[in-house]
Chain A
């Protein structure tokens, strides 16, 4: 457990020393979301209807941006090899790295999303549902993305390839995440969506670090 926390602390410290990477992804999120009203027109009704989808798709893309840095720098300077040699199980360390990735790329999106939701005329309760859905969904994105990041480690054209691999796997998160908010806006029950999202998250917490570890071992062979 202490190894898990140490990895999180280390990755957070590294992220803090390179704040611009984190902020770039965050501003990317803000800009993409702000582009949509300009593209589809300012009618409040329409914007309210597309808001959940727009926010979610933007969040998917923004969390993609930082994915290929999840292991790349550690791979380049040899830290990753040291991690695989350490006494603690690699799966735990990888889980720590994924958690750190979520804290630096997922959590800021969750905190920023309600502010952007206001631009789309979402009500207070809808914003709460949006935050809850993103809280459940963004860790899922980090977990699935980690598999893709490990698979494309040190591969030609890794960044673009990563999005090709990972985006189709993000679809369930997108559907249930955006669906929860849409259901709330439409006056329907939204708890089912959140439950499914949570179920996916539990599955991913169990399987993703394991698959990521296998992929990392292959990359380091």
Chain B
């Protein structure tokens, strides 16, 4: 039992995680590339042209995975943050910090592609729909997290403060989502609803799922690369970093 516990925590130290991350990164990049090629092939050549929306609908193959990832990454980030606060591990905070920019990027892509999709379909770049609005607020939450971490010089304090913010945010996300949803239905503002879209063809769903896998693998690869950079930055003073071949040269 004791032995297993030690093994479990082995990779919680930046020193042993750094080479592990280095070994994992190529695999995740490869998976991202494979899924990306398959997903793009399905979405451009296999998926049929939509009867109502024409070719323009194909942007959902980017839009939907990006939205999923933006929400999922926030959850993962909050998970790492909670772990960091509970167990006081250094790596957890670094992971949360490494995930935030990717999450913000996903939220941004989701908003931007949504606008590109909305212009031909709804005739407007933006509607105050519940989903759009809560995605925008999620983007703000990411920016707040990044800004708070950037403003605090002491890395450990930045991690902990960011962790509290992420946890407060994750409690708030469902509240914000439902409040925006009810606000929207009360106002009866948006005449178009994403919920009423016609049921999707099977191939479209597959394309979307494969693209989501691609985004997922990409996010992991990028987060690992970023966490490696953060580890190097924070552990510059340590012996093992100075011994690294890539640092020595």
Task: List the interface of chain A (C-beta within 8 A of B).
Answer: 147, 151-152, 155-158, 161, 164-165, 167-169, 171-172, 175-176, 179, 182-183, 188, 196, 200, 207, 211, 214-215, 218-219, 221
The number of residue pairs between A and B whose CB atoms lie closer than 8 Å in the complex comes to 72
Contact (A221, B157) CB under 8 Å given A176-B179, A183-B186, A211-B168: yes
Q: Is B144 an interface residue (CB 8 A)?
A: yes
Task: List the interface of chain B (C-beta within 8 A of A).
Answer: 85, 137, 140-141, 143-144, 147-148, 151-153, 157, 160-161, 164-165, 167-169, 171-172, 175-176, 179-180, 182-183, 186
In the bound complex, do residue B151 and residue A172 qualify as a contact, i.e. CB atoms below 8 Å apart?
A: no
In the bound complex, do residue B180 and residue A147 qualify as a contact, i.e. CB atoms below 8 Å apart?
A: no
25 contacts between A and B (CB under 8 A): A147-B168, A151-B164, A152-B148, A155-B151, A158-B151, A161-B147, A164-B140, A164-B143, A165-B144, A165-B165, A168-B141, A169-B172, A171-B180, A172-B175, A172-B176, A175-B180, A179-B183, A188-B186, A200-B175, A211-B167, A214-B85, A215-B161, A218-B161, A218-B164, A219-B157
Contact of B148 among A151, A200, A211 (CB under 8 A): A151
Return B237 CB to nearest CB of chain A, in Å: 20
**Prevailing SS type, chain A contact patch:** helix
Contacts of B143 in A (CB 8 A): 164
Chain B: which residue is nearest A169 at the CB level?
A: B172
Contact (A172, B179) CB under 8 Å given A151-B161, A219-B157, A221-B157: yes
A165 to B151, CA, bound (A): 12
Contacts of B176 in A (CB 8 A): 168-169, 171-172
A152 to B34, CA, bound (A): 43
Contacts of A176 in B (CB 8 A): 179
A147 to B144, CA, bound (A): 13
